[in-house]
A and B are shown apart, each in its own frame.
Chain A
Amino acid sequence: MNRSNAAVDVGSSSSTEAVRVEGLTKVFPNGVRALSGIDLTVRQGEFLVIIGLSGSGKSTLLRCLNRLIDPSEGRAWIFGDEITATAGADLRAMRAEVAMIFQQFNLVKRHTVISNVLSGALGRSPLWSSLFLRFSEEEKAQAQAYLDRVGLGDRAGSRADALSGGQQQRVAIARALMQKPRLVLADEPVASLDPALRHSVMRHIEALNREEGMTVLCTLHDIDLIERYASRVVALRDGRLVYEGKPTSFDAVTFRQIYGEDAVMAGSATD
């Protein structure tokens, strides 16, 4: 498959770096060590897929990158700025550059579809008008355009929870588009969708990467999706990085190394 990665040269300078993580460790207050000294660099334009068993620390890693979780130790840079050393308004400005897509979609269920898309712009909209759910005509037109793009233009006025799972995830993608981020964190974006719908959602995430030039970090379980969409794969096991390579070089041995001795390499690698 032809990859359109912006930066494939190995000796890339820090200016082409989207994410850099050094010694990232998270110990939760209850003593669970979810991440242990993760070192990772992601270049701009990559579609990095993170795999690993349930509980291996994938969500924790992604959530440390936009500081939904504060890491216990280690540092993380997003486009050269250290997000682990940022707070307050600066942190919010950095978050605005990083969109997140969730397994459970996390839409505001009682709001309309278009209002959900507009909420992607909250990082840069004026406080008072946004508190009254008011957005500019320009932003509304933009939101409508993004909804058209994910094929839900005619559902703009529906309540979000009236949509099916796959449709809700596409609204979440439109919300991410509205945010105009440079980095997208997608945490198992298709895990709660019907297998038949997975490609339709993944293709939109792929478009964020290919057409918008956004860097994507995505956790996935299915082998066929990994091979189809990833430009690079890393694997976590018990909070440590245990594998890094091209999706095509995935064989039974590395597979067991990641998923444990009991794992069987079948069509999918769900836990």
Chain B
Amino acid sequence: MEISAELQRQQRSLWRHRMRQVQAFCIDLLLLTLMLLMVEFLVVAFSGRRGPTGLLVTPEEILDLLHYGWAVSGAAFLALLWGLGSNVLGTSPGRALVLGVPEREGHPPWTRTLRGWFIALMVELTVFTGWLITEVQLVTFLTQFSKATDIVRGLLHPSSSVLHQGLVLLVQTIFLAFMATAFAIPVAFCLSFLAARNLTRDTFLLRSAYTLVRAGMNFTRAVEPLVWALIFISWVGIGPFAGVLALWVHSVAALVKLYSEQIENIDHGPVDAITATGASHLQVLRYGVVPQVIPPFLSFTIYRWDINVRMSTIIGFVGGGGIGYILKPRVDLGQWGEVGTLVLLIAATVWCMDILSAKIRERIV
């Protein structure tokens, strides 16, 4: 019985090692594929080739031309080669990341390892490729400022005609952000305990809840608040409540992440001590966990309110209420004086919130 347990343990650790090797290979494969593609991209871009329109090929057209299949196969070959020949070539980046660099390689400077050169090359390739893909035009940037002077002049001479309406909507913006944050607190608080690894190890049910909550929150956070706003606008109609809901959903997801990370970092001493008194799970949470996480939770929550105020201006652009709602048409019509007023109002608010939240958070922790 002892022996079989030992055997099982060995098999498990062997399995884990295999999985890590696969991970390392995948990372190498990805990096090498990217390298080959970027090299091809640059070669085509500088070859002076003409596209279907007869003009020089545009970056988008080059992306269509690239040989993706060949790049992956080539990269797979190279990654295998690097993995097998690691005695001569040194540890590959993927293996260094996942499995670590073996002791026998010591700590040579990066210029003495293939890995170092490879990474340096990747950085340079990325910068060059990025330059072309994003169509950076330094000369235009430096010489054509005059085209934007109208806007700048307008911003510097704010018009007072929109001041009253702006102030009213500013109040709405702040409350909108506040309500989104306030609604998010209880939901995020409860979910964060299920999203903390250290509290969800014991039973299958808890482990499943952890996976579920984590996955759900990662997804929710990945969807931009602007998209949430569009969803809720069609759900509850244009207006500040749609904005509240959009920011609420996003805040819950963001707060769960921050809260649960705090829970994972607690000192387990008090948890042990309270458990040892015969307390129930809820009591252990209340006495062993909650007192430790309250100050950081408060601090994150205020920070979140601060972020929500900023975000609610953008939410207003698409009809989610708040000051952004009257900003958008004035931008479209080029009424730069009024835009200037509104931008100044927003800037002043964000600035105040920033200082206030920093001060409060300083006090709490």
Contact = CB atoms under 8 A, between A and B. Distances in A.
Interface of A: 27, 31, 63, 66, 68, 92-100, 102, 104-111, 119-124, 127, 130-131, 133, 172, 175, 179, 185
Given A108-B270, A110-B292, A68 B282 contact: no
A98 B287 contact: no
Given A31-B9, A93-B278, A95-B277, A102 B272 contact: yes
A215 to B, nearest CB: 16
B280 interface: yes
A92 B272 contact: no
19 contacts: A63-B272, A68-B275, A68-B276, A95-B276, A98-B276, A106-B270, A107-B270, A109-B291, A109-B292, A110-B291, A110-B295, A119-B274, A119-B277, A119-B279, A122-B277, A123-B279, A124-B278, A133-B286, A175-B273
A106 B269 contact: yes
A95 B278 contact: yes
* Contact count band on B: 20 to 34
B230 interface: no
Contact of A179 (B5, B277, B287, B295): B277
A147 B37 CA distance: 72
Contact of A122 (B270, B272, B283, B291): B283
Contacts of A106: 269-270, 272-273
B294 interface: yes
Contacts of B270: 106-109
Q: Which of B9, B272, B278 has the most CB of A within 10 A?
A: B278
Contacts of A95: 275-278
Contacts of B283: 122, 127, 130-131
Given A107-B270, A107-B273, A92 B278 contact: yes
Contacts of B278: 92-97, 122-124, 179
Given A99-B276, A107-B273, 14 more contacts: A27-B5, A66-B276, A99-B277, A102-B272, A105-B269, A106-B270, A108-B270, A108-B274, A110-B291, A119-B274, A122-B278, A122-B280, A123-B279, A127-B283
Interface string B95-109: 000000000000000
A245 to B, nearest CB: 29
Contacts of A130: 283, 286
Contacts of A66: 276
A122 B277 CA distance: 7
Given A108-B287, A110-B294, A122-B287, A100 B273 contact: yes
A217 B280 CA distance: 24
Contacts of A123: 277-279
Contact of B269 (A27, A104, A124): A104
B288 interface: yes
Given A127-B283, A130-B286, A100 B276 contact: yes
Give the 10 A-B CB pairs with smallest separation, nearest first.
A123-B278, A96-B278, A106-B269, A106-B273, A122-B279, A95-B278, A100-B276, A110-B291, A92-B278, A122-B277
Contacts of A121: 277
A95 B279 CA distance: 8
Interface in B263-311: 269-270, 272-280, 282-283, 286-288, 291-292, 294-295
A124 B286 CA distance: 16
Contacts of B269: 102, 104-106
Nearest to A72: B5
Given A130-B283, A131-B283, A108 B291 contact: yes
A95 B5 CA distance: 29
Contacts of B295: 110
Nearest to B1: A73
A68 B277 contact: no
Q: Which of A96, A98, A119, A124 has the most CB of B within 10 A?
A: A119
A179 B277 CA distance: 7
Contacts of B280: 92, 122, 127
Nearest to B13: A31
B79 to A, nearest CB: 31
B273 A96 contact: no
A198 to B, nearest CB: 20
Given A130-B283, A131-B282, A131-B283, A108 B277 contact: no
A189 B287 CA distance: 22
Nearest to A88: B280
Interface in B238-279: 269-270, 272-279
Interface string B210-226: 00000000000000000
Contacts of B288: 108
A111 B5 CA distance: 44
